[in-house]
Amino acid sequence: MAPMRADRLLSLLLLLQNRGRMTAPELAAELEVSVRTVYRDVEALGAAGVPVCADRGPEGGYRLVDGYRTRLTGLTDAEAGSLFLAGMPGPARDLGLGAVLASAQLKVQAALPAGLSSQARRVQERFHLDAPAWFREADPVPCLTAVAAAVWERRAVRLHYRRWRGEVRREVRPLGLVLKGGIWYLVALAEEAVRTYRVSRVLSVEETGDVFERPAGFDLAAYWAEASRRLEAALRQDTARLRISPRARRLLPMQFGAAGVRALDGAGPPDGDGWVEVELTVESEAVAVGDLLRLGTEAEVLGPPGLRQAVARAVAALADRYGQP
């Protein structure tokens, strides 16, 4: 029997064991095959001595004879690794591990005692992680699978990469992948320094043929936390003093994230109209002007003077543009 079909037959068997009665179309959808293939696979299981019963009628379907269970649930290396993506079916699919993850989950569920298996299914039914941010489509990442393979197998690669200032080719040693706000980032050693690359800007991946040793003690999560902290500190170096309306107080955390929350925590007392003064950390003046204009008439920039003047110039330019007949 071909290895691929053997895996599928085991998956079919575990589906019936974990979920009870299932129709042929339901099995076909789970296994991503045709209904005709399901019929053939059920016949193959029967020929192999697995007691599969076919119940007819509107409530019919396939099921295992009561009391029958299999313990053929050994995980392959790939399935064991994929379990760390169990809460992220979308990212697992992006990495080319969707089918592997599904097979691993079936095997784990089959090995659990009845009570824990039911609890695991309830958790899966009630909790779902949707990584991308609202109103923004995920980046196209055609090179993600190749990058992930290089990370997994510790292979050095040459990246053809698009930066803001143009395209470059760089040899890197991939250390890990990070999914942040629906965007994939590659963390890699390049020129003896750990750097971060946005995977959607990778135009091509070429293997060098070299296998490398990961730096001893490298912690991907710790690196990412520190890199994120440094990036935020580098970007948000200025502080804007604002007077904001009650509506803007609701908007601030949504538009400025943690910086907006910190600003509200330090807000002054409200005036008669409910407006308060806050201090908000912002990026460079050019970026801050655009960000603050998103608050519209719900905010007034009080300082620093240069930022207030820059916002005033932008508002005047908009008024002039839209004031034309």
Asked if residue 179 and residue 107 are part of one domain, the reply reads no
- pLDDT (0 to 100) of residue 110: 52
Q: Are 211 and 150 contacting, i.e. CB atoms less than 8 angstroms apart?
A: no
Taking the C-alpha atoms of residue 130 and residue 128, their distance in angstroms, rounded to an integer, is: 7
What are 229's two structure tokens? 């902290």
Q: pLDDT for 225-246, tens place per residue?
A: 998 888 877 767 789 999 999 9
Same domain, 114 and 10: yes
Q: Using alpha carbons only, how large is the chain's radius of gyration in Å?
A: 28
- Do residues 241 and 229 both lie within one domain? no
What's the confidence (pLDDT) of residue 275? 95
Q: Do residues 179 and 127 make contact, with C-beta atoms less than 8 angstroms apart?
A: no
In this structure, the answer to whether residues 225 and 306 fall within a common structural domain is no
The predicted pLDDT at position 3 comes to 44
pLDDT tens for 131-175 read: 666 656 667 888 888 888 898 889 999 999 998 888 999 999 999
Structural domain for 50, as ranges: 3-126
The answer to whether residues 250 and 314 belong to one domain is yes
DSSP secondary structure of 44-72: HHHHTT--EEEE-STT-EEEEPTT-----
Domain co-membership, 98 together with 29: yes
Say how many C-beta atoms besides its own lie within 10 A of residue 252's C-beta: 24
Q: In this predicted structure, what is the pLDDT of residue 156?
A: 95
- The tally of domains found in the chain comes to 3
What pLDDT score was predicted for residue 80?
45
The answer to whether residue 134 is domain-embedded is no
Measured on CA atoms in the order 318, 323, 324, 325, is the torsion positive or negative? Answer: positive
Whole-model pTM over 0.85: no
Residue 57, amino acid: G
Residue 180 to residue 56: CA distance in whole angstroms = 48
C-alpha–C-alpha distance, residues 10 and 106, integer Å = 9
Q: Are residues 252 and 266 in the same domain?
A: yes
What's the CATH code of the domain at 46? Answer: 1.10.10.10
Q: Is residue 139 domain-resident? A: no
Tell me the backbone φ, ψ of residue 242, rounded to 5 degrees. Answer: -125, 155
Q: Which residues of the chain have pLDDT under 50?
A: 1-3, 75, 80-86, 111-112, 116
pLDDT of residue 237: 76
Asked whether residue 280 falls in the same domain as residue 223, the answer is: no
The residues that bridge with 167 in the sheet, in sequence order, are 162
Q: What is the pLDDT of residue 152?
A: 83
Q: What token pair was written down for 88?
A: 């992220």
Q: Which residues pair with 239 in a beta bridge?
A: 281
CA torsion through residues 226, 227, 232, 234, sign: positive
pLDDT at 299: 94
